[in-house]
Amino acid sequence: MSRPAPPPRQLGLTLGVIAVLATMTLWSAHGIGFSVSELVCNAAGGSRLLRESWPPDFAFLPRLIGPFLETLHIALIGTVVGAIIAIPVAVLAARPVSPNWLTWIIDRNFMNILRTLPDLFWAMLFATAVGFGPLAGALALSVFSVAVISKLFSESVEAIDMHLPEAVRACGGSWLQMVGLGALPQVWPQYAAYVMYSFELNVRGSMVLGLVGAGGIGMILETQRANFEYERVTMIILSVLVVVLLIEQVSASVRRRLA
């Protein structure tokens, strides 16, 4: 963006876009019951809640250590399992190395559909299938990680220098040898960075999985919320904030060295 964008050609187009945006906004605001008067009405209840939720209950902190560890276990399993499955998914979805057109189309659509569902949906599904607990959370984050990593990684694989894989092919290498020796070694650093990135997302995601019964710190959060123990809720949310920021800092510094 070194040069300023050209001014809009027609006034009509600009006005049209603004009209569409305004209509969407008004329609949405009406649909969700956006009202300032309601905000003012609820302000009293809201301020009471805020008073109750401060100061945070520091005595509650020791009881959070176990659930936090569980949360990190879930995030780690989800990331590792997802990262392994994402390799074949990403390779088959990368046009230059994909073995044939049909595999490519099927895998691409599979990836796109996988990406549409949020992590908490997977958590609800797995909690129903395998029962409440951390295993459901780990499975949910595995699927979610496949979605995140395979999308990013397949774009990296598509951008590789194809001379190397072609050379492996020309020497009589099989498709697997071409991918393993010619294609993937070029993109391992990016892969490692994407895995770290997905781990960051998973740490954040694993904090809320417990809301639907999939283990971790969210389970405690859900019970305290249901009992209106808001000074404990504040304590939990503050510690989530600290843990997430810490892990992000570490992971981001590793990623910077990889990239």
Partner 1 sequence: MSAAVRRFRPGYASWATLIVGALLIWSLWAIEASPERLARLPAQLGTVLGFFWPVDWHYGHTRVVPAIIESIQLAWIGTIIGALISLPLAVLGASTLFPWCSRVIKGISAAIRAVPEILWAIYLVPIVGLGPFAGALALGINSVGMLSKLGAEVVESTDLSAMQAVEAAGGSKLVAIRLGLLPQVLPELMAHWLFRFELNLRASAVLGVVGAGGVGGLLLNTLRYRQFEMAAAVLVLTVLAVLAIDLVSGSIRRKLLRGG
* 208 lies in the site for partner 1, by CB under 8 A: yes
Which DSSP letter does residue 61 get?
Answer: G
Secondary structure E strands in 40-196: none
Write down the least CB distance from residue 33 to partner 1, Å.
5
Token pair of 137 as six digits: 């959370």
* 100 lies in the site for partner 1, by CB under 8 A: no
* 74 lies in the site for partner 1, by CB under 8 A: yes
Selected binder of partner 1 within 16, 88, 96, 118 (CB under 8 A): 118
Token pair of 44 as six digits: 């009293």
Q: Stretches 56-64, 92-100, 115-123, 166-174: which one binds partner 1 (CB under 8 A)?
A: 115-123
d(CA 61, CA 57): 8
Write down the least CB distance from residue 98 to partner 1, Å.
20
* 241 lies in the site for partner 1, by CB under 8 A: yes
Contact 119, 141 (CB under 8 A): yes
* 181 lies in the site for partner 1, by CB under 8 A: no
* 32 lies in the site for partner 1, by CB under 8 A: yes
Q: CB count, 10 Å around CB of 124?
A: 19
Q: Stretches 85-93, 96-104, 168-176, 180-188: which one binds partner 1 (CB under 8 A)?
A: 180-188
d(CA 18, CA 143): 39
* 27 lies in the site for partner 1, by CB under 8 A: yes
Contact 210, 220 (CB under 8 A): yes
d(CA 111, CA 106): 9
Selected binder of partner 1 within 45, 55, 62, 172 (CB under 8 A): 45
* 65 lies in the site for partner 1, by CB under 8 A: no
* 152 lies in the site for partner 1, by CB under 8 A: no
Token pair of 252 as six digits: 């981001």
Q: CB-wise, 100 or 116, nearer to partner 1?
A: 116
Write down the least CB distance from residue 247 to partner 1, Å.
10
Contact 37, 103 (CB under 8 A): no
